[in-house]
Amino acid sequence: MGILLQRTNDALNINPPPQIYHKLSTNGSNWLWAVTAIFLLCFLLVAAHSFKAKQGEKVFHYLLSIALLVGTISYFAMASDLAWRQVSQHLNQKGGFRSSRQIFWAKYVYWVVAFPVVSIILGLISGVSWATMVFWVALAWIWVISYLVAAFTATSYKWGFYAFGTLSWILLSSSICRGGHRGAKRLDMSRPFMMVNGLTQLLWLFYPIAWGLSDGGNKIGVTPSLIFFGILDVLMLPVLSILVVLMARKWDYAKMNLYFTQYGRVRQSGAYPEKAPAAPGEQPAVVGQV
């Protein structure tokens, strides 16, 4: 027991940060380890719950498991003080000299998976077309990648990439709120859609603000910015995952047209081509449900 109580976080000793002003602190690493544990716990819970879900009703479990696992890996890398680059900053200079900042690219890897997954979940709940969901995923990718490029741009031109990314977020949010709400009403899924989308839109609103104060404007330190992003990420995916998994138990997957077979997404009538009687001398089709 004494050995456990004496354990300390040696991540910054094993993987030392750069010798600059804006860098990760030991307290920041401790916070990132806590977020890693939250993501891992939620991943295990969602993965375990997928074994209780009915066959053909696991699409949300699969999507959330992927995003949660990527989040666990990304936060493990940041807590270990890995997956970063030192980038010069044109704002908030010290003593007339250009300052540098430790930029963690691991969080952008997580966002490029998590934001599209959340968009797909909203699309499945609202019953919009596949083309619309592809459009949402593309906008989410443009948003995150633009912010990533902006974070690694050392001059004031970074704000151009920030503007493109923010425009993508505005288009994504407006399309989800407009088209998603209309589709959810058609499926009688307005209440769950409003709950999931309301939380998502509220959290997404703070990401441009947090980025502008941290990787963009260099106004707050690395540790405060990772605490800010960590809170947003925990609320956006682990909390949202529990909410979706609990609500999905009561959803009518046939009405939502969410049953998947080897032939793809079936018609609203719920007809399964592979369940038709096999012709004489023909082997029955093998069903492969998700």
Residue with tokens 């890897």: 109
Helix (H, G, I), strand (E, B) or coil at 17: coil
Query: Which of these, 32, 24, 31, 157, lies nearest to 85 by C-alpha position?
Result: 24
* Tens digits of pLDDT across the chain (290 residues): 343 334 588 888 898 888 877 889 999 999 999 999 999 999 999 999 988 877 778 889 999 999 999 999 999 999 999 999 999 887 665 544 458 899 999 999 999 999 999 999 999 999 888 999 999 999 999 999 999 999 999 999 999 999 999 999 999 999 999 988 888 888 888 899 999 999 999 999 999 999 999 999 999 999 999 999 999 999 999 999 999 999 988 888 877 877 665 455 555 555 555 555 655 555 554 444 44
Phi and psi, residue 50, nearest 5°: -65, -25
Residue 259: predicted pLDDT: 66
Spelled out in words, what is the top-level CATH class assigned to the domain 10-257?
Answer: mainly alpha
Contact 70, 110 (CB under 8 A): yes
Residue 271 φ then ψ, to 5°: -75, 135
**Closest by Cα among 127, 134, 133, 82 to 104:** 82
Q: What is the pLDDT of residue 261?
A: 52
Looking at residue 55, what is its pLDDT? 74
Q: What is the pLDDT of residue 6?
A: 43
pLDDT at 269: 55
